[in-house]
């Protein structure tokens, strides 16, 4: 199977896995949001940064090194497997004893027991990370899909059952733990790989040399991504954190899913052509335009329909989260530009530059965040929007130099899509306001009419303007 066909097949399965799993997960979250309170979601949000940091430290970037390395042998897989397993146990023990300090930081005593249970996922995840990395390396996303979707569905049903029976915040914790357990079990059943009793020091040294820089970069990213949760949880009410957490989760649904689904395929594909700058630039340009085309249009539409969407899906009690959601959606428009440029640095083996850029960006960001804290949550959100543009520029500048794809070229390539998305979004927004004042449609009817009208206009103008993304999409779908 040639690279193009393998990539397309992998992409279809990856998209199916990501969106199928996330659609199920989203529906389950809707049920849970109707049953549980914003404060209970806020409790789990407080743990997110610690779970994310622990998971990152367990792996130390070694699985990323496995994926990008050619001719990976059994000794490489086994070495990384045993390192992750031992590391997960050590990290869990540390978190167990640090749990009371985390609870004291937020002044929430329940967090001690919550994180001690939730952190079990460190150990569980270490049992399947290598199997998952091998499947990604082989672009075998069919098995990943058949693993992910049943796991999400079964764990979600458990979470809903527990919530209906009064388990409160514990229903969210046990749901996540059970999902990790199912994913691990299914990987051992279906992946076809088992570790050997090998720990090769030279192999470990090779992968760790690449991985530790990625870990430090990832650590900065996680802390930065969750610094808003830390500040809101510490400085404001747990209910406000619950609103922010739900808004952030819903705003990331299209962005992160599009990115994750495509990245699973494109990262190993980029790695396979990393020495051919001309080909890498061409492929990256097409990918960037395609992802921005769908990402920007979806996010702008979500901004327009935010209020009826929240009211219809998770009831009036979550409406205070709507303005948070709208600003976070706007911040996510340039996320693909930010993320895929970082992938260029990784496949080029420039983890040193990756780390330096992440440190500089995060240092600047923290200073900015500290400056806007007195302006409340909206000060933080507007700064997040501003800094998303700065981050995209910095990443584009340095990765662009490696493949001769300048910042100016990148922005010129994506600007027509963004301008069109905003123009159509404003048109639908004013049309919705006018019709709603005169005809008083239900929330469901508004969502249907606004969405259909938006994409009729957006796709119609895209064809008229002959945007590269729509032309590439036609060729991909109709093969002409």
Q: What is the 3 state secondary structure string of the chain? A: CCHHHHHHHHHHHHHHHHHHHHHHHHHHHHHHHHHCCHHHHHHHHHHHHHHHHHHHHHHCCHHHHHHHCCCCCHHHHHHHHHHHHHHHHHHHHHHHHHHHHHHHHHCCCCHHHHHHHHCCHHHHHHCCHHHHHHHHHCCCHHHHHHHHHHHHHHHHHHHHHHHHCCCCHHHHHHHHHHHHHHHHHHHHHHCCCCCCCCCCHHHHHHHHHHHHHHHHHHHHHHHHHHHHHHHHHHHCCHHHHHHHHHHHHHHHHHHHHHHHHHHHHHHHHHHHCCCCHHHHHHHHHHHHHHHHHHHHHHHHHHHHCHHHHHHHHHCHHHHHHHHHHHHHHHHCCCHHHHHHHHHHHHHCCCHHHHHHHHHHHHHHHHHHHHHHHHHHHHHHHHHHHHHHHHHHHHHHHHHHHHHCCCHHHHHHHHHHHHHHHHHHHHHHHHHHHHHHHHHCCCHHHHHHHHHHHHHHHHHHHHHHHCCHHHHHHHHHHHCC
pLDDT in 10s for each residue of the chain, 480 residues: 555 555 555 556 555 556 666 778 888 989 999 999 998 989 998 888 888 888 777 766 677 677 666 677 888 888 888 888 888 899 999 999 999 999 998 888 999 999 999 999 999 988 988 888 788 777 666 787 788 888 999 999 999 999 999 999 999 999 999 999 999 999 898 888 888 888 888 877 777 776 676 677 677 777 777 788 888 888 888 888 899 988 988 888 877 766 666 666 666 666 667 677 788 788 788 888 888 888 899 999 999 999 999 999 988 999 999 999 999 999 999 887 777 777 777 777 777 777 788 778 878 888 888 898 888 889 989 998 998 888 888 888 887 787 888 888 888 888 999 999 999 999 999 998 888 888 778 899 999 999 999 999 999 999 898 887 777 766 655 554
- In this prediction the pTM is 0.75
| Domain parsing of the chain, residue ranges | 1-237, 273-480
């Amino acid at each position: 199977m040639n690279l193009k066909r393998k990539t397309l097949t992998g992409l279809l399965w990856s998209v199916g896995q990501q969106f199928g799993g996330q659609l199920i997960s989203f529906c389950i979250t809707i049920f849970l949001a109707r049953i549980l309170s914003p404060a209970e979601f806020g409790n789990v949000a407080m743990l997110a940064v610690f779970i994310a940091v622990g998971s990152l430290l367990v792996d130390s970037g070694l699985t990323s090194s496995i994926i990008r390395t050619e001719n990976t042998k059994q000794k490489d897989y086994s070495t990384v497997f045993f390192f992750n397993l031992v590391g997960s146990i050590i990290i869990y023990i540390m978190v167990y004893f640090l749990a009371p300090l985390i609870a004291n930081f937020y002044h929430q005593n329940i967090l001690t027991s919550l994180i001690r249970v939730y952190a079990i996922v460190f150990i569980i995840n270490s049992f399947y990370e290598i199997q998952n990395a091998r499947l990604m390396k082989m672009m075998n996303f069919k098995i990943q899909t058949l693993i992910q979707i049943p796991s999400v569905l079964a764990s979600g049903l458990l979470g809903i059952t527990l919530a209906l029976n009064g388990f409160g915040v514990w229903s969210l914790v046990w749901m996540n733990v059970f999902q990790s357990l199912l994913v691990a079990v299914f990987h051992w059943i279906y992946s076809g790989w088992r570790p050997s009793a090998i720990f090769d020091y030279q192999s470990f040294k090779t992968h760790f040399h690449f991985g530790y820089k990625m870990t430090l970069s990832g650590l900065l990213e996680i802390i930065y991504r969750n610094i808003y949760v830390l500040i809101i949880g510490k400085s404001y009410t747990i209910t406000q954190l619950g609103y922010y957490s739900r808004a952030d989760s819903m705003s990331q649904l299209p962005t992160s899913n599009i990115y994750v689904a495509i990245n699973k395929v494109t990262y190993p594909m980029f790695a396979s052509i990393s020495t051919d700058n001309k080909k890498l630039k061409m492929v990256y340009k097409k990918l960037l335009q395609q992802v921005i085309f769908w990402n920007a249009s979806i996010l702008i539409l979500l901004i327009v329909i935010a209020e009826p969407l929240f009211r219809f899906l998770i009831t009036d009690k979550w409406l205070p989260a709507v303005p948070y959601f709208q600003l976070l959606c706007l911040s996510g428009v340039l996320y693909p530009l930010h993320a895929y440029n970082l992938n260029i640095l990784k496949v080029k083996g420039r983890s040193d530059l990756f780390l330096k850029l992440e440190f500089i960006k995060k240092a600047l960001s923290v200073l900015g965040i500290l400056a806007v804290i007195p302006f409340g949550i909206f000060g933080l959100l507007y700064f997040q929007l501003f800094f998303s543009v700065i981050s995209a520029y910095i990443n584009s500048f340095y990765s662009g130099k490696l493949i001769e794809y300048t910042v100016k070229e990148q922005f010129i390539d994506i600007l027509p899509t963004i301008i069109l998305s905003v123009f159509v979004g404003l048109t639908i927004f004013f049309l919705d306001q006018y019709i709603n004042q005169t005809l008083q449609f239900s929330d469901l009817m508004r969502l249907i009419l606004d969405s259909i009208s938006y994409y009729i206009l957006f796709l119609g103008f895209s064809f008229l303007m002959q945007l590269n993304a729509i032309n590439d999409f036609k060729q991909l779908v109709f093969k002409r």
